Structure formats: structure tokens, C-alpha cells
């Protein structure tokens, strides 16, 4: 006969699994909205999603959850911290407490402000006029301060916001690591800019028909292990990866007929996210041991395929002949070496989503620093555009001429996502550190990649990272896998080595 | 200040509208399952749909619904039978009472039996062996008897089942009309078969590439008024139309590269269903005045576009040149007259879904008669295959050689749908009666059709039928629109006139 603890544990799990049924249905509504929904359906889709979000929110703050979690807190289910049951109680407790600390009025106000904020941001960007967005952003920052105060923090408000995306992480630790990165990155970029080589990139800017790009993209996704029996690829303006069930992970990409890298690296990136989801332990679907750890770890899995694998010479040794076969006339004059160098050029630019893998991290750093200043009141919203431009000039040596290509370029803040940006840089750091360890573990990795064999690499990721779900925090996991806490060392080594090769430094 | 009645009415409406949010979300899950869902996602999709179906069922039998409806029963809201509020209370009462009369155990048992039934039916059809399905069908018939007894009826059990698909209709009335139809249809078919003409149909069986068929299909759908801003067309094995929101009606079709009519008439048919949904009064979405009346009326709207319009000479006078332009080589030797006669040939055949518009009705009659015999015990399940074959021989002059092309061809019974088939024939009858009236009302209808102008016809349907939602029952509506109760007269006249023209009788 099951003990009372067992009964409570089962009740808890089945309640949360039911919520996952609704959450995954909500994801389908969102996926469909982005991919194929008829335009006039938008308004009602908003109602469908808001209604489901309401049900989900009520379930996540259901008092019974709190009772079950309290009941289990001192039970044998929590004895082993990293066990499935220990993880379930710990992580559900963390989520539940966060949800319950937020007053309903604040949640409603945040949602409403985000809707207005996104509309104003869109208009502001369209009209290239920050002042249209200013008031919304002021309101958003004010509400996010209230959110941080309601959630609570030990050192600074930013901790409380970061925790939503990167659980158990602290601002001071992230700051310390990213500062270390910046100190080495800025000089590296200067060195690259002064390098006496000119790398032609015209081979990327030719005419590549969408239909052929689709073939190339599916070919690559399939080769690296994206499982089409439990996923699909669609076309959207803003690429994303979404999970619609334990065996249903969908990615999207966009195609630029005059620039091949957009879809190729977009698909590598999103496939990386999807391979993480597809590699989770499905028996725990909907519960913490079967869920992804943090946005930083998620991003590490997309970046490792996009960059460490996808921008390596070995990868294109295997794939470039296939690419040339698909675009025989367009790429016949471009050697593997030329291609490899073209996709690895480093150029300071104004737009984050178009940045190369070296300068990208400075785009993030700028946002991370500005967010902290906005939150603690050290920077007034009115002064934000100028502060943004100053930082671009100081870190990247270029200055936006307009708000649209400056402070208004990203959607995140307008929707209330403050504390999200650093997870992009954390992803880059984690990916480099994981990859360095994997190279140690799999001695012939480069040869395998050059032979388009990715099974061993993917299994390494799966066994070291994916299958553990949330049993370890991001910080615990990186130490467990690599033997060291997260450091900027590996990313810098990786970027420097490649720069030396590409720029012949 | 609103009266108490008004408050109760508002509560009732908002509760039912919320249920519609869930119901339309459920439809999206179903649409996605049929169109693009990755294969491995099927099992979890079943769980998502079952969970949502459970919530929806609990809402539909929520005791508060009963209280609100009782409260309003003698209020001013019900004074005008055909008003929106009168319709809301009347129809919700009908639905609620039906739902509540069904014991939960019976609902569960029916669902379970349907799942097993469909599996066994598939296997039986695959192996061409009725005995594999026999036990399931026995169980289904037994449970449907229990359902009828629980729901209650005045004349016969079949009434209670028919009511689910064709509210307020009676078996005796349907029987009387279909008997009248049969008596004239059987001799007409004999006359056609004995006609001394040979109509070549080889022009339909040529090579028509799917991509070009898609262009033709979209062209036709757009021309007749399917609104792509609030709908889309996808490809599935079994075509259907589904509503995912007030401004989101999606249809599907299939393409046979060696037989053009499948997609052309399939799209006309499903567009007809969709145009009905798109023509409803959106302010009442989710409530009876904004919902379709019955399956029979729904089918009339698909058939009127597929047959009365889509198989008319006028329609192809306008469209055939476009079709020839799309398939210039394939159709260059086929004149408009040849094409028109080819798509209107009448040939008794074994498979319902491939039947022409004349013999189709006999396929339905056979099923309708057999269903009644099964239900009242006049026919044992073991004797069903033979009874089926006898009826085909008697009505259509042909006899199936196997169960697969006989009694096992349709999915309906295996899923527990008994009483559904007659709505197909009712649809044909309604469409002919509506069309005859419309021809009276719009004197230049034929000219308009020949000019590919369908706005006046569609507006006629919308103002006479669509916009009233469930404010009138099917029977009331046909009298209101045509001045006469439903009769087989109009369909017979239509079929005879066309047969005389096509077969030169």
C-alpha cells in the first residue's frame, strides 16, 4: 500500500502533468498564430490564449500545490537533492513561491502594460522616434521594480528578475564573468579590425532560391539529428523553437534569397534548441526532471550547433560539397577555405541579431549594463538613447544614427522582459566550455564532424546535459560536466583561436 | 440598472462563450493532428484532446447552466421564439438536457467502445473480414440503444439518435421523404442506364500535376467567395472543414494526380461548408444564434456549391477556359460540352464517397434503412453484410464482392455515429429546394454564374440561411425560405432535368 507521502507525491505530479497538457496546447495556439493562422483570426486567438493563460495561472497558484509541496518538504522524497523526486519538490516549490509572491493586480498590470508597450514600441520603431515608447518603458521599469520587490532578492533587484530566466543565478556572478569577457573581447576586436587582410564575403550575398535553401536546411537539420518524426520546420519572420508535446518540437526559420547564412545558421541554431528538447527524459514530461534548466543552458545548445559545430572548418569539409551541389553555378568559384572565412568574418555592427559570434557578446553586455542602471535608477529613461549610443561607440567603435537601429531594435523590453538578455551571453559561454570538454572526451570529434557524423556528439550532449532536466542547476551542471565553474576563458580561447586562423593573425 | 433576468442572461452567455474558447482550441488540436502534426506526437495529442474534452463536457453539464436556463424559462427573454435571446435559451436548454440525461458511465463506455471500434473496423477493412468488427458493432448498437433510452423519444429510438445531428427532426418524416425519393430515383437510374449514349470520361483521368490543381482549386475557392483572410486550405487524406474561431475556418482537400474531379469538387464542397461558417453572425459566435443549424443544412451548403453550381453548364462556361489555360495540353481536345457531360455521368457504383449526385442518395437510403433495422433488432449484426449486399443489388443493381467494398467502407458506425447518414441525403434535398427558390428570386442567376460572379448568390444564401444561425430549426427555415416544407420534388426535378440534358433523353 502506498504511504501517505507517496499519495501526496502522486497527486502533485498528476496535477502538474495536467497543467502541462494545457501549457502545450497553449504552445500550439502560439505556433499556429506565427505560422499559418489567417490574418483576421488574430483577435480571437488573443482571447483563446488569454483564457488558457488564465486557467494555467490559476493552476500554478492553486493552494493545493502549496499544501502538497509543504507536506513533502521533510519527506524521504527530498532526501536526494538531485533525484527526480527531490528535483520535483525543489523546483515546483521555487516556481510556486515565485508565482504566489506576485500580487494578482501586478500580474494583470504587467500584462496590460506589455500589450501597450509592444504596440508603442512597434510604432516608435516604425517612426524612428524613441519618445513614442518612453512612457511605456518608464511604466515597465517601474512595474519590474515592484515585481523584484515582491519576489524578493538578496543583493539587488536585478537578481529577482534574472531568476525568472536563469534560476539560482546571481547578478554579481554574471557581472563578474561578463566583465572579464569584455576586457579581453574589446582588444581582440580591435586586433581583428587592424588585421591587414581583406576577407571577401560576396559569396554569401548571391542569389539563393528559397526552395533550394529549404532542401539544404532540411538536409543539415536531419544530419545533425533533428528528428522529423517528432518535429517540423516552418517559415516565419522571427525564427523560434517551440515544444507542443513530449514528441512534438517545432522550429521555424526565415529565408533571405540574397543571403544564404540567414537560413543555414538559423536552422542550425533552432535545431540545437530542438535537439535539447528532443533529448529530455520523456517519462518526466511536464515535470522538472523532464524540463530544460534555464534560458542560458538552452541557448548554449543552440549556439554549440550554430557556432562551435556550424562555423567550424570540419563541418564544412563535410557539408560544403553538398552545398555546392545544391548551388552549383552560384558557388562554383568559391573554395571551402573562402566559404569558411566568409562565414567567420568579424565586423562591429549596430544590429544584435545580425552580429557575428565575436561582437555579439558586446551587444549583450551593453544591454545588461543598461538594464541594471535603469532598474536601480542610475539612468533616466529619457537619457537611455544617448547612453545606448555612447556604449556602442565605446565598446564597438560605431554609433547608431537613429533610435531604430539603436535602442529600439529589440522587442524584449517592450514586453516586460528585463533580465533576459544576459542569458544570450551565458549561452555562448556555456557552449564554449561544454565544447572544450567534449573535445577532450571524444578524441576523434573533428574527424567525425568532417564525415557528417554527429551521433557521438549528440549523445554526449544528451547524456551530459539533456537527460538530467532540472536535476542540476545551470551552475551545478557546468561544474559537474566540465569540472569547473563557468568562466569566460573557454569562449575567449575559442574566439581567439578562430580569429587567428581566419584573420591569419 | 440591469434586471436580475438580464444579469442571469449575461452570466449564461459569458459562460457559454468561454466554453467556445475551449471548443475552438480543441478544434485547432484536431486540425493540426490531421494536417501537420509530426507522427510521434499522436499519443500525447490524444491526451491533450481528451483532457480538453473532459473540461468542455464538465462545463456543458455544469449545474449552474441548468439553473440559469430554468431561471430564464419564463422571462421576457423567451417571449420571441426566433429572437436571439429566445434562441439562446431554447437551444441551450435542448443541449443541456440532452447532455445531462446521458449517464457519465454511458458516455465513458461509448467513448471507449468507439476507440476500440475504430481500431477493429480498420483491421477488418484491411483484412476484408467483417467478423473482426462484428463484436464491436454489436456493442456499439447496444450502447446506442441505451443512449436513445436515456435521452428519450416519442416514436422510436432512432429519433433520439437523429436528434443529435438533425435537431427537431423525426425519423418518420425523414423516412417518408426518402421513400418518396427512392420510388422515383430507382426508375430514373434504370432509364439513364438504358440510354443509348456513351459519354466518354477519359478527359477526367489524365495526368494533372498537383501544383497546378492547387492553383485551380484556390482560384475557384476565391472566386466563389471563400475568404482567405479568415481561412486556409490544406491537404489531408480525408477532406474536412473545421472552425477554429469566428474568423478562422479551414478546409482541406486531397489531390489525385490522375483524376481531376477529386480536388475540384472537393474544394467546391468544403468551400461551401466554410462559406456557411464564414456567413454566420459573428457577434453571436459560440452561442446558438451564431451557430450552424444541423448537419443537413450544413451539407446543403456544401452540396449547393458542389452540385447545383459546380456541376452546372453555366459554371463551366465561366471556368472551363481558365481550367484549359492551366492544363493547356491535357484538355485541348476536350470541349466544354464534353467536359460538362463527363463530370455529370451517372453510374451505379459500390463506394459512397465516389458516387455521382444521382446514385449517391441510394447509398444513403440503404444505410438509413439498415440502421433502423439494427436499432430495433429487426436485423442481427451477423446478417448485416448480406442485408447490405441485397439492398445494393435491389436499389443499384450491383452487388459487392467483398465486405471492404460493402459494409466496411464507412468509418461512421465504428465511431458510434448512428443516425448521421440521413443528413447527407437531407443536405441534397435542402440544397435543391433552396436553389430552386434562389433561381426564382435572382432572375439572371445563370448569367451571373457564367460570368464567374457569385456575390449575389452568396448574399442570398447568407441573408436567407447563414445569418439566422439557429434562430430557426431546419424545418422552419426551409418553409420560411421556400414557402414549402421539405420535399423530394425539387431534387428529383433537378436530377431529371440534368439527366435529360446530359443523356439526351
Average pLDDT in chain A: 96
The Cα–Cα gap between B504 and B192 comes to 10
Minimum distance, in Å, between the CA of residue A25 and any CA atom of chain B: 7
Average pLDDT over residues A174-185: 96
At residue B350, what are phi and psi to the nearest 5 degrees?
-90, -25
Mean pLDDT calculated for residue range B445-469: 98
Question: Taking 70 as the threshold, does the pLDDT of residue B1 lie above it?
Answer: no
Chain A residues touching residue B25 (CB < 8 angstroms): 25, 29, 48, 52
pLDDT value for A329: 96
Q: Quote the percentage of chain B above a pLDDT of 90.
A: 95
Contact B32/A at CB under 8 A: yes
Answer whether CATH 1.10.1370.30 is correct for domain A203-347+428-488. yes
Q: Which long-range contacts (CB under 8 A, 24 or more apart) does B400-403 make?
A: B400/B350, B402/B128, B403/B124, B403/B125, B403/B128, B403/B129, B403/B130
Q: With an 8 Å Cβ cutoff, is B36 touching chain A? A: yes
Residue A46 has pLDDT above 80, yes or no: yes
Judged against a pLDDT cut of 90, whether residue A286 lies above it is answered with yes
Confidence (pLDDT) at A115 = 86
User: B254 pLDDT exceeds 90?
Assistant: yes
B22 touches chain A (CB under 8 A): yes
Instruction: Enumerate the residues of chain B whose CB falls inside 8 A of the CB of residue A248.
Output: 37-38, 40-41, 44-45
Is residue A181 within 8 A of residue A493, CB to CB? The reply is no
pLDDT mean over A369-375: 97
Q: How far is residue A248's CA from residue A373's CA, in Å, rounded to a whole number?
A: 40
Provide ipTM, 2 decimals: 0.93
Amino acid B2: pLDDT: 67
Mean pLDDT of chain B: 96
- H helix runs in A304-345, sequence order: 313-326, 328-331, 336-342
pLDDT tens digits along B387-436? 999 999 999 999 999 999 999 999 999 999 999 999 999 999 999 999 99
What's the pLDDT score for residue B127?
A: 95
B342: closest CA among B317, B311, B372, B373? Answer: B311
pLDDT (0 to 100) of residue A328: 97
Where do runs of H (alpha helix) occur along A152-288?
Answer: 157-165, 171-194, 210-224, 261-278
C-alpha distance from A283 to closest chain B C-alpha (Å): 12
Contact at CB, B38 and A246, closer than 8 angstroms: no
Give the whole-number percent of chain A exceeding pLDDT 90.
95
Report whether pLDDT(A25) > 80. yes
- A215 CA to chain B: closest CA distance, Å? 18
> In this predicted model, what pLDDT tens digit does every residue of A205-257 receive, in sequence order?
999 999 999 999 999 999 999 999 999 999 998 899 999 999 999 999 999 99
CB atoms within 10 A of CB A211: 8
- The mean pLDDT of A18-23, rounded to a whole number, is 98
Q: Give residue A1's pLDDT.
A: 59
* Positive/negative CA dihedral, A107, B286, B276, B326: positive
**pLDDT score, position B175:** 97
Find the closest chain B residue to A234 by CA distance: B36
| B63 interfaces chain A, CB cutoff of 8 Å | no
Q: What is the mean pLDDT of residues B44-63?
A: 93
- Summarize the confidence of residues B55-80 as an average pLDDT: 95
At A367, the pLDDT band (50, 70, 90 cuts) reads very high
Residue A477's nearest CA partner among A276, A247, A243 is: A276
Q: Give the pLDDT confidence of B221-238 residue by residue, as tens digits.
A: 999 999 999 999 999 988
- Nearest Cα neighbor of B90 from B423, B472, B466 is B472
pLDDT tens per residue across span A96-137? 999 999 988 998 899 889 889 999 999 999 999 999 999 999
Q: How far apart are CA B79 and CA A346, in angstroms?
A: 76
Q: Average pLDDT, stretch B306-316?
A: 98
What is the reported pLDDT for B77?
95
Of B18, B38, B245, the CB nearest to A247: B38
B211 touches chain A (CB under 8 A): no
- Would you place residue B489 in the very low, low, confident or very high pLDDT band (cuts 50, 70, 90)? very high
Position B386 pLDDT exceeds 90: yes
Which residues of B are less than 8 Å from A37 in CB distance? Answer: 248
Residue in chain B nearest A247 by alpha carbon: B41
* Annotated active-site residue in B91, B169, B270, B369: B270
Q: Are A144 and A416 in contact (CB under 8 A)?
A: yes
Query: Which phi and psi angles does B260 have, rounded to 5°?
Result: -65, -40
Beta bridge partner(s), residue A241: A251
- Residues pairing with A232 in the sheet: A250
d(CA B366, CA B387): 10
CA distance B230 to chain A (A): 5
Residues in chain A with CB shorter than 8 Å from the CB of B227 are: 40
Average pLDDT over residues B54-59: 93
For residue B103, the number of C-alpha atoms closer than 13 Å in the C-beta half-sphere is 10
Residue A2 pLDDT > 70: no
Q: Closest Cα of chain B to A50: distance in Å?
A: 10
Q: What are the chain B neighbours of A22 within 8 Å (beta carbons)?
A: 51
Residue A303: band (very low, low, confident or very high) from pLDDT cuts 50, 70, 90? very high
Q: CA angle B496-B497-B503, nearest 5°? A: 80
Q: What is the mean pLDDT of residues A455-465?
A: 98
The answer to whether the CB atoms of A248 and B24 lie below 8 A apart is no
Q: B38, A231: Cβ pair inside 8 Å?
A: yes
**In the Cβ-directed half-sphere of A423, how many Cα atoms lie within 13 Å?**
25
CB B135 within 8 Å of CB B425 = no
**In sequence order, what are the beta bridge partners of A150?**
none
pLDDT digits (tens, 9 = 90+) for A144-167: 999 999 999 999 999 999 999 999
Q: Looking at residue A451, what is its pLDDT? A: 97
Q: Is A43 touching B (CB cutoff 8 A)?
A: yes
In chain B, residues with a C-beta closer than 8 Å to the C-beta of A28 are 28-29, 32
Active site residue B306: no
Is B248 close to A39, i.e. CB distance below 8 A? no
User: If you measure CA to CA, which chain B residue comes closest to A51?
Assistant: B21
Confidence at residue B108, expressed as pLDDT on a 0 to 100 scale = 85
CA A127 to chain B, closest CA, distance in angstroms equals: 27
Q: Binning pLDDT at 50, 70 and 90, where does residue B476 land?
A: very high
Report the percent of chain B where pLDDT is more than 70.
Answer: 100
3-class DSSP state of B147: helix
Using a pLDDT cut of 70, give the percent of chain A over it: 100
Give the A:B interface size as CB pairs under 8 Å: 89
**Burial classification of residue B336, based on how many CB atoms lie within 10 Å of its CB (0-12 exposed, 13-18 middle, 19 or more buried):** middle
Amino acid at each position: 500500500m502506498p504511504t501517505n507521502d507517496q499519495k501526496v507525491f502522486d497527486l502533485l505530479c498528476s496535477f502538474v502533468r495536467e497543467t502541462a497538457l494545457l501549457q502545450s496546447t497553449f504552445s500550439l495556439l502560439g505556433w499556429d498564430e506565427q505560422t499559418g493562422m489567417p490574418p483576421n483570426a488574430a483577435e480571437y486567438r488573443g482571447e483563446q490564449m488569454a483564457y488558457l493563460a488564465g486557467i494555467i495561472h490559476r493552476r500554478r497558484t492553486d493552494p493545493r500545490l502549496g499544501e502538497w509541496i509543504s507536506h513533502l518538504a521533510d519527506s524521504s522524497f527530498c532526501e536526494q537533492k538531485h533525484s527526480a523526486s527531490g528535483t520535483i519538490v525543489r523546483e515546483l516549490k521555487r516556481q510556486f513561491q515565485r508565482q504566489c509572491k506576485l500580487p494578482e493586480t501586478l500580474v494583470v498590470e504587467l500584462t496590460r502594460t506589455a500589450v501597450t508597450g509592444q504596440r508603442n514600441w512597434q510604432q516608435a520603431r516604425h517612426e524612428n522616434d524613441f519618445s513614442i515608447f518612453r512612457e511605456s518603458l518608464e511604466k515597465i521599469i517601474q512595474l519590474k521594480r515592484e515585481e523584484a520587490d515582491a519576489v524578493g532578492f538578496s543583493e539587488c533587484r536585478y537578481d529577482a528578475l534574472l531568476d525568472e530566466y536563469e534560476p539560482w543565478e546571481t547578478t554579481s556572478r554574471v557581472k563578474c564573468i561578463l566583465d572579464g569577457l569584455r576586457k579581453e573581447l574589446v582588444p581582440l576586436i580591435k586586433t581583428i579590425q587592424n588585421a591587414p587582410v581583406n576577407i571577401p564575403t560576396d559569396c554569401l550575398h548571391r542569389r539563393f532560391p528559397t526552395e533550394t535553401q529549404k532542401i539544404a536546411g532540411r538536409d543539415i537539420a536531419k544530419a545533425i539529428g533533428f528528428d522529423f518524426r517528432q518535429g517540423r520546420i516552418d517559415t516565419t519572420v522571427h525564427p523560434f523553437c517551440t515544444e507542443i508535446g513530449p514528441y512534438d518540437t517545432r522550429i521555424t526559420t526565415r529565408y533571405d534569397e540574397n543571403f544564404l547564412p540567414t537560413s543555414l545558421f538559423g536552422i542550425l541554431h533552432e535545431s540545437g534548441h530542438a535537439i535539447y528538447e528532443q533529448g529530455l527524459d520523456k517519462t518526466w514530461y511536464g515535470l522538472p526532471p523532464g524540463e530544460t534548466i534555464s534560458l542560458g543552458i538552452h541557448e548554449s545548445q543552440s549556439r554549440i550547433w550554430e557556432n562551435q559545430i556550424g562555423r567550424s572548418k570540419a563541418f564544412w569539409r563535410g557539408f560544403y560539397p553538398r552545398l555546392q551541389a545544391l548551388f552549383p553555378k552560384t558557388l562554383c568559384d568559391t573554395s571551402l577555405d573562402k566559404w569558411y572565412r566568409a562565414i567567420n568574418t568579424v565586423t562591429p555592427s549596430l544590429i544584435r541579431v545580425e552580429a557575428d559570434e565575436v561582437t555579439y557578446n558586446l551587444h549583450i553586455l551593453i544591454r545588461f549594463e543598461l538594464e541594471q542602471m535603469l532598474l536601480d535608477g542610475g539612468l533616466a529613461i529619457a537619457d537611455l538613447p544617448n547612453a545606448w549610443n555612447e556604449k556602442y561607440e565605446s565598446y564597438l567603435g560605431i554609433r547608431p544614427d537613429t533610435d531604430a537601429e539603436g535602442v529600439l531594435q529589440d522587442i524584449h523590453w517592450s514586453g516586460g522582459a528585463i533580465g533576459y538578455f544576459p542569458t544570450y551571453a551565458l549561452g555562448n559561454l556555456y557552449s564554449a566550455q561544454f565544447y572544450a570538454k567534449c573535445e577532450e572526451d571524444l578524441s576523434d570529434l573533428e574527424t567525425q564532424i568532417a564525415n557528417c557524423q554527429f551521433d557521438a556528439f549528440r549523445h554526449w550532449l544528451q547524456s551530459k546535459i539533456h537527460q538530467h532536466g532540472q536535476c542540476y542547476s545551470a551552475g551545478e551542471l557546468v561544474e559537474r560536466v566540465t569540472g569547473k565553474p563557468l568562466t569566460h576563458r573557454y569562449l575567449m580561447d575559442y574566439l581567439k583561436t578562430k580569429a587567428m586562423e581566419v584573420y591569419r593573425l
